[in-house]
Amino acid sequence: MNELRRVEPALRAARDAGRKLLVPYVTGGLGDDWCEVVAAVAAAGADAIEVGIPFSDPVMDGPTIQEASMRALDRGATPSSIIAELSEVDAGVPLVVMTYYNIVFRGGHRRIARSLVEHGVAGAIVPDLPLDEFFEWGRAADDAGVETILLAAPTTPDDRLAEICARSHGFVYGVGLMGVTGERTSLAASATTMAKRLKAVTDVPVLIGVGVSTPEQAVEVSAEADGVVVGSALVRRLLDGGGPDAAAEFVGELRSALDGMGTTAP
C-alpha cells in the first residue's frame, strides 16, 4: 500500500508538519450517499477516516451510533458490502474500519485482514478486543499488513498503558471519558488527563475520542493530544438528514478550529 494511505506514516507526517490530527467517524452503510460523505469529509480536512461496520450489539456506543448502526443494518449493509464500497471511494487519506470482534471472528481473522488490504483499507479498531485477547487477530493483522489501533481507557493502569501503546499501530485511541460514545456538553477532565498520560509513554500519535463533540472541545483536548476522533456529533448530523455538504461543513469547522491553535505547534 502507498505509504500515504497507511495510517501511521500519514499521521506522523502531518503531526511533524505542526498539524493537529482530525479523524472523523462515519457509520458505513448509513444512507445511500455514505460513500460521498466519506469523500466530502476527507476533502474538508480529515487526516484519516474511521468507518464503522455496523454490529447488532454495539456495547461501546451510545444512542446516536446505535441508531446509525440499526439504520445501516436495516438497509442491508454487510461487512463485505461496506469494505467493497470503500474501495471505490477516492478519499486520498487513510481509511480505518471500526467494528466489534464478532464480525472479525465470524468472518475469519485472516480472511477479514486480507480483505481490508485488498480493498485499500489501512487499519482496524475493535473496541471489545482488549490487549489480553488480541493475539489471534494481532497476528493475522500483522501478517496481512493491517494497522490495528488499540484503545486505552482512563481506568487503564500505567504499566498496561505502555503495553497498549507498544502494540498499537496507526495511532493510540485514548478514550476521553468513562462511558460510551455520544455527544457531551463539555469536555471531561479525564480527556486531558488521558492525553497527558499517553503522551508521556509513547511517540505513536495520540488521538482522543468518545465525548469530543465540538470544535472548542477538540481544541481544548488537542492542547495535550495530537488530535481527536469525532463520531457522534458528525453522525447525528447525518441522522438528522444532513448529507455530504453538512458533514463537510462540520468537519471544516473542526479543521479550522484545530488549525487556528498555532501556538501549540512545535
Looking at 8, 47, 61, 147, which residue is catalytic?
61
End-to-end Cα distance, the chain = 29
Binding to other proteins (CB under 8 A) within 73-92 occurs at 73, 78-80
**Identified binder of other proteins from the candidate list 28, 29, 31, 127, rule CB under 8 A:** 127
Q: Which C-beta is closer to other proteins: that of 181 or that of 214?
A: 181
Q: Is 216 a catalytic residue?
A: no
Q: Which is nearer to other proteins, 111 or 249 (CB)?
A: 111
Least Å distance between CB 125 and other proteins?
A: 11
* C-beta contacts of 85-88 below 8 A and 24+ residues apart: 85/28, 85/29, 85/34, 85/35, 86/28, 86/35, 86/38, 86/51, 86/119, 86/120, 86/121, 87/118, 87/119, 87/120, 87/121, 88/35
- 61 is an active site residue: yes
Q: How many residues bind other proteins (CB under 8 A)?
A: 41
Binding mask 92-111 for other proteins (x = CB under 8 A): ---------xxxxxxx----
What is the DSSP code string of 17-78? TTPPEEEEEEETTSSTTHHHHHHHHHHTT-SSEEEE---S--TT--HHHHHHHHHHHHTT--
User: What's the burial of 90, exposed, middle or buried (CB within 10 Å: 0-12/13-18/19+)?
Assistant: exposed
Site for other proteins in 145-164 (CB under 8 A): 150-157, 160, 164
x-or-dash string of contact with other proteins, 166-205, rule CB under 8 A? ---------x--xxx-------------------------
Contacting positions for other proteins (CB under 8 A): 55-60, 62, 66, 70, 73, 78-80, 101-107, 127-133, 150-157, 160, 164, 175, 178-180
* Active site residues per annotation: 50, 61
